[in-house]
Amino acid sequence: MNRRGRWLFGLSGVAVALACLDSPVLLPYPLFVASALFGWRPFDARSPNARPWLRLLVATLLATGVLETGAWAHNFVRDAAEPALFHPQLFADLLIAVGFYLGWWLTWRWRLRRDRYSLAEVFWITATYGVLIEQRGAIFLQGLATLPLGLALWAFVALSYGSTMALAYVWAGGSDAFAPLARASSPRDARPLVARLAKYLLPWLGLFIASVALIVLWNWPLEALDLLPPKRLPMRAHPFW
């Protein structure tokens, strides 16, 4: 990235950080910008002997924890009557969310062992997946019905999802850590069209299947053992558990 690009990238992070005062769900983006610009790789530097996949797991859980806490705060400040969360109480929401976001880690663990992905590719693949899956597809359909204004809604969701996984990728070491571990592959232009498409379609498919399957498997013992509190509203009266 040239100097002008770095300035624009940095300014976008500052602008979104200010927007976080009203929309805290966007918090992963300024953290991602700062981490990418200043080379913050906490798990890569502090755990050089740890397996990259373990670093990616810890980074993914922390980055998605930032996203989910921001989403909870976004609903909390509005005292949402029907919060778009796994659970209206913060700690229960974070506990349930672990299963969902483990699907992200599992998918990227699989794909980063098979192919090489740039930071931008990790961002946009996860971002477009987020637009399609958010609120079980309602956000995608709402944006489609209100085009061209719907593009702003899609961009809002894409920014939060894409920056979250990109943040985890940077924290775990980025392409410098994971590209050497990927299966050797031909240059992109030399690949068959099917292989080029598979590089982007397979992560989508993996994210959809793994996140849904793992949240079901994770949530089953939580509900069977009655480990979750009942959902209580309004959120401001019952914020945490």
Rounded to an integer, the average pLDDT of 138-165 is: 94
Reference 185, options 121, 113, 105; nearest CA is 113
CA–CA distance, 154 with 144 (Å, rounded to integer):
9
CA–CA distance, 10 with 114 (Å, rounded to integer):
32
SS3 state of residue 15? helix
Q: Which helix (H) or strand (E) holds 211?
A: helix 193-224
On the 0-12 / 13-18 / 19+ scale of CB atoms within 10 A, 206 is buried
Assess whether pLDDT exceeds 80 at residue 160: yes
Q: What local confidence, expressed as pLDDT, does residue 44 receive?
A: 64
Reference 175, options 217, 115, 234; nearest CA is 115
- CB 53, CB 173: distance < 8 Å: no
Rounded to a whole number, what is the distance in angstroms from the first to the last CA of the chain? 44
pTM of the model: 0.91
Q: What local confidence, expressed as pLDDT, does residue 66 receive?
A: 98
Counting residues of the chain whose pLDDT is more than 70, the rounded percentage is 94
Structure tokens, 214: 């793992």
Which residue type does 233 have?
L
Predicted confidence band of residue 187 (pLDDT cuts 50, 70, 90): low
pLDDT tens, position by position, 61-106: 999 999 999 999 999 999 999 999 999 999 999 999 999 999 999 9
Assess whether pLDDT exceeds 60 at residue 4: yes
Residue with the two structure tokens 């590719």: 121
Q: What local confidence, expressed as pLDDT, does residue 188 receive?
A: 57
Structure tokens, 182: 């990927």
Assess whether pLDDT exceeds 60 at residue 126: yes
pLDDT tens, position by position, 30-55: 999 999 999 888 876 556 567 889 99
Rounded to an integer, the average pLDDT of 133-148 is: 91
Average pLDDT, the chain: 91
pLDDT tens, position by position, 6-20: 999 999 999 999 999
On the 0-12 / 13-18 / 19+ scale of CB atoms within 10 A, 216 is exposed
pLDDT tens, position by position, 16-32: 999 999 999 999 999 99
Reference 178, options 116, 125, 126, 124; nearest CA is 116
- CB 68, CB 95: distance < 8 Å: no
Which residue type does 37 have?
L
Q: What local confidence, expressed as pLDDT, does residue 43 receive?
A: 75
